[in-house]
Structures are given as C-alpha cells and as structure tokens.
Amino acid sequence: KINDVDTLASILEDRMRELDNEFRTNNQKVQSQLDLLLAAHETQQAEDLRHNKTWNLANQVDVILSVINSEMRTLRSDFDQKLSSAIIGGGKKDADSNDGPRDGSREVQDLEEKVKRLQDSQQQSMLKIAGLRSAHKHAEAQANFALEKLKRMQAEVGSIVDQVVMQQTRLDYLLV
C-alpha cells in the first residue's frame, strides 16, 4: 500500500505541476494579450487623432483655395467692368476733356497691378499647400512604418513571453 500511495502522490505531484504550468502560461498569455489590446487601442486613438488632423489640414487647404478663387473672380469682374467702362466712357470723355483717358488708363494699371499681386499670392499659396501636402504624406509614411515596426515587435515580445514562462516553470520544477 505504501508503494501505491507513493505512486499516487507522484502522479498527483506531476498533475499539480502540469496544472501550475498551464495556469502560469495562460496567465502570461492573457496578460500579454491585454497588453496587445491596450497597445492596439492606443494606436487606434493615435490614428483617429492623425485622421482628424489630416481632415483639418485638407479643410484648411480647401478654404484657402476657395478664398483665393473668389478674390480672383471678384477682381476679374471688377477689371472687366472698369475696362469696358473705360473703353465705352473713353470715347465720350475724349469729346469732353483730355483727362478722362488718363484716369481710365490709371485705373486699368491699378487693376493690372492688383491682378499681378493676387496671382503672386495665389502662386505662393499653392506652393505652401503643396508643401503642407508633402509634409503630411511624409509624416503619414513615417507613422505607418512605425506602426508596422510596433506590430512586429509585439509579435516578437509575445513569443518571447511564452518562452520565458515555459523556462520559468521548468526552473520552478527543478527547484522543487
């Protein structure tokens, strides 16, 4: 009977070690999965924040372009009106006085200068917009690269955690 009891005790001891090993392994796996979920959640929040910034940047670009285009339309219509009034009014004023065409040509020159300034401003704004878009694409590419690297590291850490848990359990059994 003592041999049976010793055999039964060694069987129970082995089973307890297996259960302890499974418990520790599962505990570490659950902890690493929770860490992965937390990291994924933080990554998603960062992605949402970046998306909102991207939308705001795109919105700003659209607003700048619409303001520039409306200013250009307004200036062109003013220019066309003054040019046509100068041409039509120029013939009538020639008969009345000699100062009329000079005033009309001065207005035309002023409008031409305004058009040039607005075109320069539009060109500078377009260059700034292109620079912003380029910077955004570069930042997005870097973020995607960092995210992929983080995912690879998470997978590696998960496998290392599993290996460490198994080694720790083996060491614990050797010490017992």
CA distance 60 to 131: 13
What is the tens place of the pLDDT at every residue in 1-51? 778 888 888 888 888 888 888 888 888 888 888 888 888 888 888 887 776
- The token pair that represents 155 in the structure block: 């997978």
What is the pTM assigned to this prediction? 0.41
CA distance 123 to 129: 10
State the pLDDT confidence band at 76, using cuts at 50, 70 and 90.
confident
3-state secondary structure of 96: helix
Q: Which uninterrupted H or E stretch holds 176?
A: none
Q: Please state the rounded mean pLDDT for residues 145-172.
A: 76
What's 1's DSSP letter?
-
What is the tens place of the pLDDT at every residue in 85-98? 777 876 555 545 55
pLDDT of residue 82: 78
Q: Please state the rounded mean pLDDT for residues 147-169.
A: 77
Look at 70-79, 126-135, 166-175 and tell me which has the smallest mean pLDDT. 166-175
Q: Which residue has the higher pLDDT, 43 or 121?
A: 43
What is the tens place of the pLDDT at every residue in 158-168? 777 777 777 77
Q: Is the pLDDT of residue 176 over 60?
A: no
Which is nearest to 107 in space by CA: 136, 121, 87, 133?
87
What's 97's DSSP letter?
-
